[in-house]
């Protein structure tokens, strides 16, 4: 997960890490998600990876059969971020092969709170 300017955590796929000679800072190339999400089963949430020509308005398509073909000919939107902006790791599972939709599984430490809130 990476953090945007307003401190919202957004999942992303880490593509690679690199170092620029004569600099201390490490950088990452990421494929991030839109800021929109939807809770699906109890232990996961649906996210949509960012692509240049796929609008977030198409988010609800994961519920239909249309989502399997919207990636054809699309270019992923990659970003370069400092490694310090990555604050956590998560399990990110493709919803279907060749889909821009992914399920993010909640951390196992949070599972019990989904069924019963501990005072």
State residue 119's pLDDT score. 60
State residue 117's pLDDT score. 59
Tell me the C-alpha distance between 75 and 90, whole Å: 24
State residue 65's pLDDT score. 61
Q: Count of domains in the chain?
A: 1
**Which domain, by its residues, includes 77?**
2-115
Query: Could you read off the pLDDT tens digit of each residue along the chain, which spans 119 residues?
Result: 544 445 578 889 999 999 999 999 999 999 999 888 888 877 888 888 898 888 888 777 766 665 555 677 788 999 999 999 888 888 888 887 777 888 888 777 666 666 665 56
The model carries a pTM of: 0.74
Tell me the C-alpha distance between 47 and 103, whole Å: 6
């Amino acid at each position: 997960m990476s953090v945007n300017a307003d401190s919202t955590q957004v999942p992303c796929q880490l593509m690679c890490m690199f170092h620029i000679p004569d600099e201390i800072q490490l950088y990452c190339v990421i494929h991030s998600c839109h800021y929109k999400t939807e809770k699906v089963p109890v232990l996961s949430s649906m996210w949509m990876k960012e692509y240049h020509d796929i609008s977030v308005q198409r988010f609800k398509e994961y519920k239909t059969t249309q989502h399997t073909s919207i990636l054809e000919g699309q270019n992923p939107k990659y970003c370069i971020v400092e490694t310090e902006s990555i604050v956590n790791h998560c399990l990110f599972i493709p919803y279907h092969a060749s889909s821009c939709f992914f399920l993010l599984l909640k951390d196992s430490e949070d599972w019990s709170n989904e069924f019963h809130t501990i005072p």
